Chain A
Amino acid sequence: AQSVTQLGSHVSVSEGALVLLRCNYSSSVPPYLFWYVQYPNQGLQLLLKYTSAATLVKGINGFEAEFKKSETSFHLTKPSAHMSDAAEYFCAVSPTGRRALTFGSGTRLQVQP
């Protein structure tokens, strides 16, 4: 079964600092991977997705993620955090044979002024 693991349920950074949110996947076939963001009291919004076209994927709001097969990772980064980036971030994988997503447990990002 395909799954994702997010390391760190809470991450705190200072405004202007690098954001790094970790996601590792488990899959015996090429995975399709997604990062979603959830702002307080809202639904999830797609940040970016890996569809095997390019290993470095750029998303909205300055976020990007790099697919590394050798490390089975798809970490999310942003060079400089803004206060508005405070939210919960979910990594997800699209399993073979099913359209629904399998989500990680989420990482809450806190941005300190």
Chain B
Amino acid sequence: DAGITQSPRYKITETGRQVTLMCHQTWSHSYMFWYRQDLGHGLRLIYYSAAADITDKGEVPDGYVVSRSKTENFPLTLESATRSQTSVYFCASSESTSGRTDTQYFGPGTRLTVL
């Protein structure tokens, strides 16, 4: 009954380091998403995936890389972290049964601080 989980929940890193945020869902949902949440901006889409091995860019993809080799996992990698990437990152998933009206289910978030 885990649903959608994210790890780590909190991460502090330094500028220039590579960081990977993990996302795992147990529902076998087709779609998965990565958003970042910043004050005054709501949530903005970084990347999304329609299925294993299918990914596409969102609004703010620069500096991020994703992969999806398995349906249940959707890791997000910051190749060389910058201070502007300090944010709260949310992973979400949804089925593909109703198209644009599908509900998205969110993980608890990862708070990332880049020093």
Contact = CB atoms under 8 A, between A and B. Distances in A.
Main secondary structure of the interface of A (DSSP, over half): loop
Contact of B101 (A32, A41, A90): A32
A100 interface: yes
Contacts of A103: 35, 42-44
Nearest to A52: B101
A88 B17 CA distance: 32
B106 A100 contact: no
Given A42-B108, A45-B106, A103-B43, A94 B101 contact: yes
Contact of B94 (A99, A102, A106): A99
Categorize the interface residue count of chain A: 20 to 34
A36 B50 CA distance: 22
Interface of B: 4, 31, 33, 35, 40-45, 48, 50, 58, 90, 92, 94, 96, 98-109
Q: Give the 10 A-B residue pairs with the shortest CB-CB distance, closest first.
A: A43-B106, A103-B42, A94-B100, A51-B101, A44-B106, A103-B43, A105-B42, A100-B45, A43-B108, A32-B100
Interface of A: 9, 32, 34, 36, 41-46, 49, 51, 90, 94-96, 98-106
